Chains A and B, each alone.
Chain A
Amino acid sequence: MKTDFRYMRRKIFGTMMLGLSILAALAAVSMLFWILGYTFIKGISAVNLDFFTKLPTPVGVPGGGLANSIVGSIIVVGMAALMAIPVGIATAIYLSEYGRGFFASTVRFVSDVLAGVPAIVAGIVAYALVVTRMHRFSAFSGSVSLALLMLPIIIRSSEEIFRTVPDTLREASFALGVPKWKTILSIVLKTASGGLVTGTILAIARVGGEAAPLLFTSFSNSFWNFNPGQPMATLPVDLFNYSISPYQDWQQKAWAAALVLVGMVLILNISARLYLARKGFKRNG
């Protein structure tokens, strides 16, 4: 009799907790859809061809777009990726293929700490390292700050991926009389390439939306600029500037910028997943 009661109580409690966790999951997902939906509704009216092809217009002049900051974002993030990817992957190779002992665990710890550094601090560092020495804001300094943010993400994701390469493949290569460096380049890197690409795309998507570190590094620019030594407009910074402006037209543009930014990040994320899925399929087939 008593056991029956306990069983019932446990069952009811279990069902309740399951219901609560489903509610929590729904709440989390609905927030995402709310953000996406709201951005879409507010922004879609200002997204047109001009937005992607024209320069910003002065306040009060209708039309214009943010073509320069879309391209600027791609340049700043691209340069950051060029800096962070080689260093990050090389560090991951060291950690997974060679790293043992004190130095390796220090590197791992530092990279974890770096991953927790607030974005604005990365901006300050780039400001102190680059901007104060060049005596001006520049796209390059913005890229440095984003690279600092990307680096730990790439290191950790790449190290995990290198660890999924089975040791039996390394052994097979060693047993064929292939030196270790060649084994890493031709076997480990190649086998891991799918995961590396995915991890890197996700890291790019992660920093692509950062505004804080760019506010006082790459700054902003109302005109075309392809010189990394000069200030460059980026979508997140324009989004910030436009959204706090008192002008209706600019606020509308901020929504459009938000929509385009979310769209770009979404495309990057989806393409990373698709790439991995296809790669996995090919390997099995």
Chain B
Amino acid sequence: MADKIAVEGLNAWFGKTQALHNINMAVPENSITAIIGPSGCGKSTFIRCINRMHEEIRGAYSNGKIILDGEDVYGSGVDPVLIRRRLGMVFQKPNPFPTMSIKENAVAGIILNKRMSRHEIEETAEKYLRRAALWDEVKDQLNKPGVSLSGGQQQRLCIARALAVEPEVLLADEPASALDPISTAKIEDLFTDLKERYTIVVVTHNMQQAARISDRTAFFLSGRLIEYGTTDKIFTNPSDKRTEDYITGRFG
């Protein structure tokens, strides 16, 4: 598998606090990569660096390279707004736009950037609601507010919204941590289906989840990448003592 994203010497700061130290890792195309580690280890900061959301926080900055298909995301002349359309993101807490209906939420990323006919909106919304495995549940209530759905449905709506921008990569920051087990299972199944089309990087607190869905796993601790390899290897035969301790529940 070719590398979709290559991270080279990434450091990130919040003001004077360094959150990430010299991260180097490559994410293969059409795979699911799980980022695990205890709270505050820099997992979220890491994926927010990939789509340049980290710099939106006041006082936050980073250096190093993130190569997406041979192009540095942080290269001079790269517009963060445009690069974000190639790197979709799903957040921990479902955040559909409260002023928009289900249908409008699904295509929000498109209609906020260009005009669309009513017909195009209908078609596009259906396409991506189907892709996010939500269509059957909402097809009769497309004009209801997006926030009227259950938490798990809202999260799939947010996934549909992210997919509708046609990104190549899907970054997910603990996408199921606020959801019940059934909704979590749906999201996990969805991710497994989506990896045929997209490269997925998912931050998770749930090690079973990482083991269930991911091809590769990266273990972060105190802003450093401790170990990175195939999920099988990390969970059955980790090379680093700290990884083993974390996975077996001895800390974190």
How distant is B66 from chain A, measured CB to nearest CB, in Å?
16
- A284: min CB distance to chain B, Å: 8
Check A172 for interface membership: any CB of B closer than 8 A.
Answer: yes
Identify the stretch in A33-41, A60-68, A82-90, A183-191 within 8 Å (CB) of chain B at 4 or more residues. A183-191
Interface hits, B80-109 → A, CB 8 Å: 81-85, 88-89, 91, 93, 95-99, 108-109
B190 to chain A, nearest CB (A): 18
Chain A residues whose CB sits within 8 angstroms of the CB of B148 once the complex forms? 285
B56 lies within 8 A of A176 (CB)? no
Interface string of A153-193 (1 = CB under 8 A from B): 00000000000001011011111111100110011001101
Number of interface residues of B (CB under 8 A): 29
Among A166, A177, A190, A282, the residue within 8 A (CB) of B113 is A177
* B99 CB contact (under 8 Å) in A166, A175, A191, A285: A191
Q: With a CB–CB cut-off of 8 A, which chain A residues contact B165? A: 176-177
Which residues from chain B contact A193 at a C-beta distance below 8 Å? 99
Verify A176–B53 contact, CB threshold 8 A: no
> Shortest Cβ distance from B86 into chain A, in angstroms?
8
Contact (Cβ within 8 A) B58 A171: no
Contact B81 A175 (CB under 8 A): no
Interface residue? A283 (CB, 8 A):
yes
Known: A166-B95, A187-B97, A283-B147. A178 touches B56 (CB 8 A): no
A175 & B84 in contact (Cβ 8 Å cutoff): yes
Is there a chain A Cβ closer than 8 Å to B161's Cβ?
yes
B95, A177: Cβ atoms under 8 Å? no
A176 contacts B108, CB within 8 Å? yes
For A169, what are the chain B residues with a Cβ–Cβ distance below 8 Å?
95, 97-98
Q: Which of A177, A187, A190, A191 contacts B81 (CB 8 A)?
A: A177
CA distance A283 to B53 in the complex (A): 28
In the complex formed, the residue of B with least CB distance to A283 is B98
Query: A100 touches which one: B58, B83, B85 (CB < 8 A)?
Result: B58
Structural contact, A178 and B147, CB atoms closer than 8 A: no
Which of B58, B91, B93, B97 gathers the greatest number of chain A CB atoms within 10 Å?
B97
- Is A176 in contact with B95, judged by CB distance below 8 angstroms? no
- Of all chain B residues, the one with the shortest Cβ separation from A282 is B145
A174/B161 contact (C-beta < 8 A), A168-B91, A168-B93, A182-B112 known? no
A: which residues have CB within 8 A of B?
A: 100, 166, 168-169, 171-179, 182-183, 186-187, 190-191, 193, 282-283, 285
Q: Closest 5 CB pairs between A and B? A: A177-B85, A176-B109, A175-B89, A177-B84, A168-B95
With A187-B112, A283-B145 known, 13 other A-B pairs at CB within 8 A are A168-B93, A174-B53, A174-B56, A175-B84, A175-B89, A175-B91, A175-B162, A176-B162, A177-B81, A182-B113, A187-B97, A191-B98, A283-B98
Interface residues of B (CB under 8 A from A): 51, 53, 56, 58, 81-85, 88-89, 91, 93, 95-99, 108-109, 112-113, 145, 147-148, 158, 161-162, 165
